[in-house]
Chain A
Amino acid sequence: MLSIKNLSVSINDEKILENFNLEIKKGETHIIMGPNGSGKSTLCYAIMGHPKYKITSGKIEFNGQNILEMPTDERARAGLFLAFQYPKEVPGITFGNFLRQSSNVKLKESGEKVLSPMEYFKIAKELIEKVDLDKSMIGRGVNEGFSGGEKKRAEIVQMAALKPKLSLIDEIDSGLDIDSLKKVAQSIEEIKSETGMSTILITHYQRLLNYMNFDFIHIMKNGKIVKTGGKELVEDLEKNGYQNF
């Protein structure tokens, strides 16, 4: 589904990823862990096409399509989604309206009928209540004055609304208390089982993994995957940290 080959990425002429390789099949969940500055977030931004991240070599194919030529919005419409570590505010646009409009972009793309505010209200309410947020969220500006936890849950709500084929989830656990963490992990699992989406999940902490199903863990260091394994890697990390890699 997603195939990354020999990818090198720079920001401001500084090389962050070098000859990075990763293959992800439909429905798989890959966890990426690694110390700060190892290039985890860069990988997400590069896949999604942030203009600051320059691809200096290599390729990324998504469902057989070379996505490096596509602008970010086309990648999104092709089924990629990024849950941000630091979601941006859009003052004056309500979260409900934002959800509806982004869903409508997708519906329009597939030639389906777009939804009116009345039609969408019920959908939005359900999605929001599913992550234990209050429905009043519908009327608040996108990420405007949201607490850290609300922002992260709002990202999950958007993921549920857009039903991506592959989600990149960037440190969704940072700044969440244990109850929120469980809720978020559970919501991601629900979306996965409902839609069969593939997932790349980036995290610093092992504890999120206690609540998630996954197929592989990759340890990243200095812009490369240095180790790939399964659950057993978690215990190793728990004991020894990243120093052995």
Chain B
Amino acid sequence: MTNKKQKISNQELADQIDDYKFGFKTNHQAKFDTGVGLNEEVIRKISAHKNEPEWMLNNRLKALRIFNEKPLPNWGGNLKEIEFEKIHYYMQPADKQNKDWEEVPKEIKNTFDKLGIPQAERKYLAGVGAQFESEMVYHNLQETLAKKGVLFEGTDAALQKYPEFFKEYFGKVIPARDNKFAALNTAVWSGGSFIYVPKGVYIELPLQAYFRINAEFMGQFERTLIIADEGSSVHYVEGCTAPTYSSQSLHSAVVEVICKKGAKVQYTTIQNWSNNVYNLVTKRARCDENATMFWLDCNLGSRLTMKYPSVYLMGRGSKAEILSVAFAGKGQHQDAGAKVIHAAPDTSSTITAKSLSKDGGRSTYRGLQQVLPGATGVKSRVVCDALLLDDHSRSDTYPTMDVQENDASMAHEATVTKISEDQLFYLQSRGFSEAEAGALIVNGFIDPIVKILPMEYALEMNKLIEMEMSRSVG
């Protein structure tokens, strides 16, 4: 995300990266580690190490029992190969969370430098968090926003400082019982961002957090809680990468967003995990009267992603917009989608899902549009487009509609397109190489989504797509 990178020509870029660019490893000795595997003892260790209030420990233990009881989902992707007993559930990289970048341990700092994190902050962000393994190593917010009462902290630090918010909101939008991986996260959560935006405060620039897995067999379980008070507005962006290992890693986050009356929240994810990461994330927002939630979810990389950002429209006139892009390359399965539950009258939602499958990759759209009794005057629309880049890739669509009011206006459109030999030939006859031609078609396909990304992220997204396209072409 640095400006430096923008000056590199396409050719140089193609030369440099014939593989996952963020796959480098950092030699780093953890300060504290609970070892491999998961049991009550591990949970007690994590909680004690974090010096948590007892209610949180009990919350964790209860969630562990739910995790153990619940079977693996028998839908979505293949979860049977996850070796839960080999995973490190907690790894502390540094002694404390820093506000000064210079105080972050050198090798961790170098990692984020390579990823362009601190430079990005100075240029176009209102605040930045950086998580390495299990903990936030850096968190900072513009002073002007802090003065207005905006809170932007690592979730662990926030639990210590503002327990009242946690008692009221933690686990309320996504209870541990929601699904097996929400239970896992609730049991072992660590890190993530906590954001509180006071009434009427409008944050212009995005807040960003960056998540990095470095160790082998690492499990990252960040927990993010965003509370946008009445009439406030915030845009939060998260980016994720990991080194390339032959062994697996597990990323299982929970994100809860509360949009109070008239609030607007945008949550943008640009995720580019290496191919060994299982990415099983639960994201959900609740909207009160006239509030707006906007999920923009870009899923690249990972071995398997199962993620369906959801919005519960609880107040009259509230709105949900969900845009999802998934790119499934060789050996990858992107099982992504969106859910909107209309629980109040005059609520509206739009879901746009675009998926690309290449080199045998598989992408799935799985979605839900639900209108509950009493929710009259609902409008909901789903547009689902899939692009197949070759014959041996795959795309499936599983839309579910459950409408319990007669006057709801519901729409679902789906298209599947395959890049044709004739289309490639047309572009090649203009001098574009096969890879450039493919990239053009792909860029055109995702253009409606890239167009609405902030400039810096649009550039980043285009670069990531270009990288995916230049990987094992032909």
Binding site for B on A (CB under 8 A): 48, 50-52, 71-73, 75-77, 81-82, 84, 87-93, 98, 101-102, 105-106, 108-109, 141-142, 158, 162
A14–B50 Cα distance when bound, in Å, is: 75
Chain A CB within 10 Å — which of B431, B432, B446 has the most?
Answer: B431
A90 touches B444 (CB 8 A): yes
B428 at the interface (CB under 8 A from A): yes
Additional 8 contacts, C-beta under 8 A, given A76-B429, A105-B431: A71-B433, A73-B437, A82-B429, A88-B422, A88-B427, A90-B426, A90-B441, A106-B431
> Roughly how many angstroms separate A105 CA and B433 CA in the complex, as a whole number?
9
- Binary per-residue interface labels of chain B (433-447) against chain A in the complex, 1 for a CB within 8 Å, 0 otherwise: 110110011011111
Neighbouring B residues of A91 by C-beta, 8 Å: 444-445
Q: Report the Cα distance A89→B446, complex, angstroms.
A: 15
Docked Cα-Cα span, A52 to B429, in Å, equals 14
- A162 and B444 contact, Cβ closer than 8 Å, known pairs A50-B425, A52-B421: no
Q: Please give, as numbers and ranges, the residues of chain A lying within 8 Å of B434 by CB-CB distance.
A: 71, 73
User: Is the beta-carbon distance between A105 and B432 smaller than 8 angstroms?
Assistant: yes
The minimal Cβ–Cβ distance linking A69 to chain B, given in whole angstroms, is: 15
> How far, in Å, is A65 (CB) from chain B's closest CB?
16
Nearest CB on B from A191, distance (A)? 16
The reply on B16 being an interface residue by CB < 8 A is no
A23 to chain B, nearest CB (A): 23
Asked whether A93 lies within 8 Å of B422 as measured between CB atoms, the reply is no
- Of all chain A residues, which has the CB nearest B420? A88
Q: How far is the CA of A72 from the CA of B428 in the complex (A)?
A: 6
| Inter-chain contacts of B74 with A (CB < 8 A) | none
Once the chains bind, are B444 and A93 in contact (CB under 8 Å)? yes
Is B448 engaged at the interface, CB distance under 8 Å to the other chain? yes
How near does chain B come to A221, taking the closest CB pair, in angstroms?
Answer: 26
Q: In the bound complex, do residue B444 and residue A48 qualify as a contact, i.e. CB atoms below 8 Å apart?
A: no
B residues in contact with A90, CB < 8 Å: 423, 426-427, 440-441, 444
How far is it, in angstroms, between the C-alpha of A77 and the C-alpha of B445 when the chains are bound?
26
Complex Cα gap A158–B422 (Å): 18
> B: which residues have CB within 8 A of A?
11, 420-423, 425-434, 436-437, 440-441, 443-448
Give me 5 A-to-B residue pairs in the complex whose CB atoms sit less than 8 angstroms apart, sorted by A's number: A73-B428, A73-B434, A76-B431, A91-B444, A98-B440
A105 to B434, CA, bound (A): 13
Closest chain A residue to B422 by CB distance?
A88
Top 8 A-B pairs, shortest CB-CB distance: A92-B444, A92-B447, A72-B428, A88-B426, A93-B444, A76-B431, A102-B430, A105-B431
Residue of chain B at shortest CB distance from A77: B431
Contact A73 B11 (CB under 8 A): no
Q: Which of chain B's residues has its CB closest to A99's CB?
A: B430
A73 to B131, CA, bound (A): 45
Q: Which residues of A contact B427 (CB under 8 A)?
A: 88, 90
Cβ contact within 8 Å between A48 and B429: yes
Q: What CA separation (Å) do A48 and B426 show in the bound complex? A: 10
Residue among B425, B433, B436, B446 with the highest chain A CB neighbour number at 10 A:
B425
The answer to whether B443 and A73 touch across the interface, beta carbons within 8 angstroms, is: no
Given the known A-B contacts A92-B443, A92-B444, are A73 and B431 also in contact in the complex, defined by CB atoms under 8 Å? Answer: yes
Are the C-beta atoms of B440 and A101 separated by less than 8 Å?
Answer: yes
A158: chain B residues at CB < 8 Å are 430
Contact of B447 among A51, A82, A93, A98 (CB under 8 A): A93
> Could you say which residues of chain A place their CB within 8 Å of the CB of B441?
90, 93
Question: Does B421 lie within 8 Å of A162, measured CB to CB?
Answer: no
Q: A88-B426, A90-B427, A90-B441 are in contact. Are A73 and B433 (CB under 8 A)?
A: yes
Check A72–B429 contact: CB distance below 8 A: yes
In whole angstroms, what is the CA distance A50 to B428 when docked? 10
Give Cα A77–Cα B431 distance, bound, in whole angstroms: 5
B440 in contact with A162 (CB, 8 Å): no
A89 to B427, CA, bound (A): 10
User: What residues on A are CB-neighbors of B422 within 8 Å?
Assistant: 88
Instruction: Give Cα A73–Cα B425 distance, bound, in whole angstroms.
Output: 8
| CA A38 to CA B382, docked complex, whole Å | 48
**Chain B residues within 8 Å of A89, by CB:** 423
A92: which of B11, B436, B437, B446 is its contact (CB, 8 Å)?
B446
* A63-B423 Cα distance, complex, nearest whole Å: 27
- From residue B17, how far is it (CB to closest CB) to chain A in Å? 19
Q: Write out the residue numbers on chain B whose beta carbons fall within 8 Å of the beta carbon of A75.
A: 429
- Nearest CB of chain B from residue A215's CB, rounded to whole Å: 24
User: Could you tell me if B426 and A87 are in contact, using CB atoms closer than 8 angstroms?
Assistant: yes
Bound CA–CA A88/B425 (angstroms): 9
* A92 close to B425 (CB less than 8 A): no
Contact of B443 among A48, A77, A93 (CB under 8 A): A93
A101 to B420: give the CA distance in the assembly, Å. Answer: 21
Cβ contact within 8 Å between A84 and B426: yes
Contacts of A48 in B (CB 8 A): 425, 429
Q: Least Cβ distance of A193 to chain B in Å? A: 23
Contact between chains at B431 and A93 (CB < 8 Å): no
CB neighbours (8 Å) of B426 from chain A are 84, 87-88, 90
User: With A and B bound together, what is the CA distance between A51 and B424 in angstroms?
Assistant: 10
CB distance from B8 to the nearest CB of A (A): 13
Given A90-B441, A90-B444, A92-B446, is A102 in contact with B431 using a C-beta cutoff of 8 Å?
Answer: yes
Contacts A50-B425, A72-B428; A108 near B11 (Cβ below 8 A): yes
Give the residues in chain A near B436, CB-CB below 8 Å.
Answer: 73, 105
Chain A nearest Cβ from B458, distance in angstroms: 13
Query: A77–B428 Cα gap in the complex (Å)?
Result: 9
Q: Kindly state the separation between the CA atoms of A62 and B440 in the bound complex, as whole angstroms.
A: 28
Chain A proximity of B12: nearest CB distance (Å): 12
Most buried by B among A76, A82, A90: A90
Chain B residues, Cβ within 8 Å of A88 = 420, 422-423, 426-427
User: Which among A73, A92, A98, A162 is the interface contact of B445 at CB below 8 angstroms?
Assistant: A92
For the complex, what is the distance from the CA of A28 to the CA of B172, rounded to whole Å? 78
Q: How far is the CA of A52 from the CA of B420 in the complex (A)?
A: 12
> Contact between A92 and B430 (Cβ–Cβ < 8 Å)?
no
Chain B positions within 8 Å of A50 at CB level? 421, 425
Closest residue of chain A to B437 (Cβ to Cβ) is A73
CA distance A162 to B443 in the complex (A): 22
Question: Considering the chains assembled together, what is the distance between the CA atoms of A1 and B6 in angstroms?
Answer: 41
B230 to chain A, nearest CB (A): 38
Q: Which residue in B420, B432, B444, B446 is a CB contact (below 8 Å) of A73?
A: B432
A162 CA to B430 CA, complexed, in Å: 8
CB-CB nearest in chain A for B433: A73
- The chain B residue sitting closest to A81, CB to CB, is B429
